[in-house]
Amino acid sequence: MDNFVVEKSLPDKRFDQFLREKFPAASRGAFKRLIEEGHVRVNGNIVKPTHTPRAGERIEIHWPQPKPAEAQPEEMPLDILFEDDWLLVLNKPAGLVVHPAAGHEEHTLVNALLHHCRGSLSGIGGVARPGIVHRLDKETSGCLVVAKDDETHLALSKQFSDRQVEKIYNAMICGETARDSGEIRAAIARHPSHRKRMAVHDDDSGRAAHTKWRVLEKLAGATLVEARILTGRTHQIRVHFQFIGHPVAGDKTYGARQNKRLEEMTGYAAPRVLLHSRELAFAHPRTSKRVKFEAPLPEDFLEALKTLRR
């Protein structure tokens, strides 16, 4: 159980949204369900998800016992970079879906983790599933951390929310940049007409997003860059590099025209979105010691470099 007192009134904020921001490991939808089922009380009373938090209110959250996971354990190879009793860091291969969804009920990272961890998994939000603290797109490879218990999950989620986690990516982008380094500060929200895509928004509908980048190597028709993301928005690196006119190689969603030009110029067609989570650093929730992990570039990325080197 968690209990605390609301410090200040928030008349413009829903109760489920307020709780989501305070406990980022659980989704807003999960909190909406917990409130409606009576697992969250305000001054001992049941309220609606639309309740507005008021200063002095005492909040009690009774986390329910996790329900059995719908996904089934599945024996699959995992490239584990580090593992202890509280968390593991793995090198996710490109093409591996993280969570089961329509069309991808099997052969996902969750299926593999259910088998590997054998019940030692976090249950944030009332569902027994591996504690996926952050996600990587299906085609993105590299470092990903998983929590084995709720306390570790919440602590890691807070570090991500407070921007205390260092996330460094390698990306191959189309074209040659005019500068050798830069910063992109551009808010991101859902695309107004393509709901599965994200886009830069210059109005209040977008969430702040910040990416720093520098050139590592100039290639034929492309550039290898290092990108540090100071926020964690959906498709952030892909959207930001499209925004500055250099979409990620292989990204048909955000850069079909530029990728076609790259193929016409060089004869090279990227097999997937060439984005790799190279480094991940954070404070270990149990020891407070700063730890850093690095995943080497995969073979398809190395092949792309070999092909496009002048």
- What 3-state class would DSSP assign to 192? coil
Q: Which residues form the catalytic set? A: 137
Closest to 189 (Cα-Cα) out of 204, 207, 202? 207
Distance of CA 61 to the CA centre of its chain: 25
Q: In 80-219, which residue ranges form alpha helices assigned H by DSSP?
A: 109-117, 150-161
Judge residue 124's burial from the number of C-beta atoms within 10 Å of its C-beta, 0-12 exposed, 13-18 middle, 19 or more buried.
buried
DSSP designation for 282: E
| Rg of the chain over all Cα atoms, to the nearest angstrom | 21
DSSP E strand boundaries for 39-128: 40-42, 58-61, 80-83, 87-92
